[in-house]
Amino acid sequence: MSLNGKVALVTGAAQGLGKAFSEALLKKGAKVCLVDVQVKEGEATTAEFQKKFGKDKALFVRCDVTSKDEFEETFRRALKHFGHLDIMVNNAGIGNERDYIRMVNINLTGVITGTNLAIQAMSRENGGHGGLVLNVSSTAGLTPRAYFEPAYSGTKFGVVGFTRSWSFNPHAQKMGIRFACLCPAFTATRLLDGANTILPEEARKMIEMVGINKVDSVVDGFMQLVEDEQCNGAVMTVVARQGIKYHKKPHALSKI
């Protein structure tokens, strides 16, 4: 996918991976609607990008992804400002608290809402241009991680299953939309700094074994998924000591 002139909406874009994803897209000529609940950080990041890439290239919208009304308003503002949408990046997530209801609402329900709104906006059946929905999960969504709050791993498994299920939808090709999932391991962001582990020693040993991703490495994987027009249903893992691995879509099961 050539990104010049494309429009992306990125949640959790004020800092960390979301900010890095947004900058990578802007560098390729895309326009980005940066979405975050953190207003001060989001406005500062957007001002930085506007200065670097052009005032018309970046827009900030404050949005709590757990609110369907706010999410719908965010899409309305983005579409009014940019005219269309080509890429949806559901990146917003938390992992540092025991409030499992809030965690499910942000990490999983927010992804589902963002995906459904993006499909409405991008589907060729609705007059859209088609495009990509890229959902950010974690390696904790592929292999259980006992040292994290189990609800965290559950939400990340949910994101992988939800994304791949959409990729099997027989209407996806007619809609012109592909679906992909990025699953980084431990990454050097504030989310890792504030991680709430229930088995700290086991977590420490795992981090020593797999290493900690640099943000740039995760961005490399992200851009591969964005630019690969054949990636529908793919899951990509990024692990410091294993590198980037592409997991193609499995065959659909005709029988259970």
| Residues labelled as active-site residues | 152
Q: Which of 102-106, 206-210, 214-218 has the lowest mean pLDDT?
A: 206-210
108 near 161, Cβ under 8 Å?
Answer: no
Task: Give the model's pLDDT for residue 33.
Answer: 98
How far apart CA 200 and CA 190 sit, in angstroms, is 17
Using pLDDT thresholds of 50, 70 and 90, give the confidence band for residue 15: very high
Enter the pTM of the model.
0.92
3-state secondary structure the chain: CCCCCCEEEEECCCCHHHHHHHHHHHHCCCEEEEEECCHHHHHHHHHHHHHHHCHHHEEEEECCCCCHHHHHHHHHHHHHHHCCCCEEEECCCCCCCCCHHHHHHHHHHHHHHHHHHHHHHHCHHHCCCCEEEEEECCHHHCCCCCCECHHHHHHHHHHHHHHHHHHCCCCHHHHCEEEEEEEECCECCHHHHCCCECCHHHHHHHHHHHCCECHHHHHHHHHHHHHCCCCCCCEEEEECCCEEEEECCCCCCCCC
pLDDT tens, position by position, 35-81: 999 999 999 999 999 999 999 999 999 999 999 999 999 999 999 99
Question: Taking all residues of the chain, what is their mean pLDDT, rounded to a whole number?
Answer: 91
pLDDT tens, position by position, 186-208: 887 866 554 555 556 676 777 77
